[in-house]
């Protein structure tokens, strides 16, 4: 496979490339655009025109510099050995392959996909989606040889994307629904995935029927299909081994796999806990389950939220805490599908005397609540607050008492007494097992790392300033 006919270089070496807003020519998809997606479909060979790239909407070179457009990427593939179960796994590779292109940054998946193309790439002549589509086709066929034919359709027209978007959402829904009825105890094989190690080198996902991968795009069926066709690939089978703790979802096989794949960084995982030995998070989780110490409950905010969470933090701020492949008690990257599982954070709930993980949830952003409503027990639904119901911790606490939220039963007399004190404090409280921050040395070299163990950090606001050495000198 060669890319010598392309104006930009292509290869895994460009995977970590970041394109900041100042360097970008255009942004495609992302949180500010309503409808966008990426989808892989397995088709009969006769329905595919091999190597064809179809563009619907304005081309890259015709786009206005500095603007945003919708993006739909539909990859249709054919091959004798292909089955529908492989679609999701192929689809996850779009992220990796787009990032191979020097001058393209790709984040997330499914309907949260977000890309930037750099000015430099466009100046070099990378000015057409036909080039991007061709690169994708070549990479798909080279890296996944069971794909014999591939065709790509790219949609950038806001008008035309509608019907494709609906089809994509429908496909995601069908995939998710299929996995709903299956539970961890029903199967004798689990799976692992290390596709995100290029960004989070110590992160390995455990994929079980009850814990769909945190990116939300690979469920147990998808992982099984991937491991079958490419057992030595990035998605592989993991024998569960011994169940060490049924309530927590601790399995010797998953512990061993995590230890090996995280290079010894993490050696113990509780599948059903966000507080003790939680699953690590890379960066592409669909939502964050975060602990709210003020009410001893949890909140969930999803990636698409355009509001701040009840703790005063935006998704992106909390995502920095949560991600990176570290074990972060109190911050857990999750898939929306996991919320539907009866095992959802059940270990944490039982520690508090509650019989369902969702009974820990006191706050969700309203759009997310609407989306996952069908999975929340009916009597609990009106008790979970959103940004439309409460705006700060004291209002949340009142709301929970008034609605008789099950979490109230976990408040001891002591906490009731503390009420006045925390109301006065306000601000954002970040519960953390361990906080690490790096203070770079002046001039870019050296510096030191501060590790605060078992701490609670309280801050009215967090201000990070770049040290401008010239202004510092002037002051002297």
Question: What residues between 324 and 363 interact with ligand SF4 by CB under 6 A?
Answer: none
| Residue closer to Zn ion, measured from CB, 222 or 294 | 222
Is 40 a residue that touches ligand SF4 (CB under 6 A)?
no
Shortest distance, CB of residue 188 to ligand SF4, whole angstroms?
20
* 219: contact with ligand SF4 by CB under 6 A: no
What is residue 101's DSSP assignment?
A: B
Give least dist CB 206 to ligand SF4, A. 9
Contact residues for 370 (Cβ-Cβ < 8 A; gap 6+): none
Cβ atoms of 259 and 202 within 8 Å: the answer is no
Closer to ligand SF4 by CB, 203 or 397: give it: 203
User: Footprint of ligand SF4 on residues 176-195 (CB under 6 A)?
Assistant: 193-195
Beta carbons within 8 Å of 172's beta carbon, 6+ residues apart: 110, 111
Cβ nearer to Zn ion, comparing 98 with 284: 284
3-class secondary structure, 459: strand
Report how many residues bind ligand SF4 under the rule CB under 6 A: 13
Question: Which span (215-223, 317-325, 379-387, 417-425) binds ligand SF4, by CB under 6 A?
Answer: 215-223
Identity of the residue, 289 or 387, whose beta carbon is nearer to ligand SF4 in the bound complex: 289
Binding span for ligand SF4 by CB under 6 A among 14-22, 134-142, 212-220, 402-410: 212-220
Report if residue 92 touches ligand SF4, rule: CB under 6 A: yes
* 214 is a site residue for ligand SF4 (CB under 6 A): yes
Q: Which is nearer to Zn ion, 116 or 359 (CB)?
A: 116
Between the CA of residue 390 and those of 263, 309, 349, 364, what are the distances in Å?
43, 11, 23, 11
Q: Does 26 bind ligand SF4 (CB under 6 A)?
A: no
**Binding at 205: pick from Zn ion, ligand SF4, none (beta carbon under 5-8 Å per type):** ligand SF4
The CA angle 290-293-299, to the nearest 5 degrees, is: 30
Find the farthest-apart pair of alpha carbons in the chain and give their distance in angstroms, rounded.
Answer: 75
| DSSP notation for 198-252 | GTSTT--EEE-SSS--TTSS--HHHHHHHHHH-TTSSEEEE----EEETTTTEEH
Q: Where are the alpha helices (DSSP H) in 45-192?
A: 87-99, 119-123, 129-143, 161-180
Chain residues in the site for Zn ion (CB under 5 A): 196, 282, 284
Lookup result for tokens 């399995």: 251
Question: Considering only CA atoms, which of 442, 398, 389, 434 is closest in space to residue 416?
Answer: 398
Please say which residue, 63 or 196, places its beta carbon nearer to Zn ion. 196
Taking the C-alpha atoms of residue 210 and residue 339, their distance in angstroms, rounded to an integer, is: 9
Residues 192-211 that bind ligand SF4 (CB under 6 A): 193-196, 205
- The residue within the footprint of ligand SF4, chosen from 60, 74, 75, 215 (CB under 6 A), is 215
**Nearest approach, Cβ of residue 200 and ligand SF4 (Å):** 8
Q: Which residues bind ligand SF4 (CB under 6 A)?
A: 92, 193-196, 205, 213-215, 217-218, 282, 284
């Amino acid at each position: 496979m060669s890319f010598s006919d392309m104006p930009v270089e292509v290869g895994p070496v460009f995977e970590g490339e970041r394109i900041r807003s100042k360097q970008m020519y255009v942004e495609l998809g992302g949180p500010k655009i309503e409808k966008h997606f990426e989808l892989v479909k397995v088709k009969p060979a006769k329905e595919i025109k091999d190597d064809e790239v179809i563009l619907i909407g304005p081309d890259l070179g015709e786009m206005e510099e500095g603007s945003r457009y919708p993006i739909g990427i539909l990859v249709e593939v054919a091959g004798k050995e292909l089955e529908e179960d492989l679609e999701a796994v192929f689809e996850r590779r779009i992220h990796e392959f787009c990032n191979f292109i020097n001058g393209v940054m790709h984040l997330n998946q499914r309907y949260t996909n977000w890309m930037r193309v750099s000015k430099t790439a466009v100046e070099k002549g990378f000015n057409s989606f036909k080039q991007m589509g061709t690169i994708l086709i070549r990479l798909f066929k080279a890296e996944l040889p069971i794909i014999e034919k591939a065709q790509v359709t790219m949609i950038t027209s806001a008008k035309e994307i509608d019907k494709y978007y609906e089809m994509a959402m429908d496909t995601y829904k069908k995939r998710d629904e299929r996995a709903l009825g299956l539970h961890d105890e029903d199967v004798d094989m689990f799976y692992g995935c290390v596709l995100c190690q290029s960004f989070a080198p110590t992160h390995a996902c455990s994929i079980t029927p009850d814990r769909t991968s945190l990116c939300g795009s690979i469920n147990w069926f998808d992982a099984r299909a991937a491991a079958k066709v490419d057992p030595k690939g990035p998605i592989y089978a993991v024998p569960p081994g011994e169940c060490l703790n049924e309530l927590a979802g601790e399995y010797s096989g998953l512990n061993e796999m995590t230890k090996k794949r995280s290079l010894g960084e993490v050696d113990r995982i509780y599948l059903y806990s966000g507080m003790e030995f939680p699953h690590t998070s890379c960066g592409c989780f669909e939502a964050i389950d975060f602990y709210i110490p003020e009410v001893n409950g949890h909140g969930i905010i999803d990636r698409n939220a355009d509001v701040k969470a009840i703790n005063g933090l935006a998704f992106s701020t909390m995502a920095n805490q949560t991600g990176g492949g570290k074990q972060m008690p109190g911050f857990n990257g999750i898939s929306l599908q996991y919320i539907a599982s009866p095992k959802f954070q059940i270990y944490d709930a039982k520690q508090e005397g509650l019989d369902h993980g969702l009974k820990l949830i006191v706050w969700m952003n309203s759009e997310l609540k609407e989306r996952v409503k069908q999975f929340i027990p009916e009597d609990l639904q009106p008790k979970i607050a959103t940004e439309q119901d409460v705006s700060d911790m004291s209002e949340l606490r009142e709301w929970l008492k008034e609605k008789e939220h099950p979490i109230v039963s976990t408040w001891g007399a002591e906490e009731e007494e503390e009420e006045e004190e925390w109301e006065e404090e306000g601000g954002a409280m970040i519960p953390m097992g361990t906080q690490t921050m790096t203070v770079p040395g002046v001039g870019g070299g050296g510096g030191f790392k501060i590790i605060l163990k078992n701490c609670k950090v309280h801050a009215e606001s967090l201000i990070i300033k770049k040290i401008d050495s010239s202004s510092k000198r002037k002051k002297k």
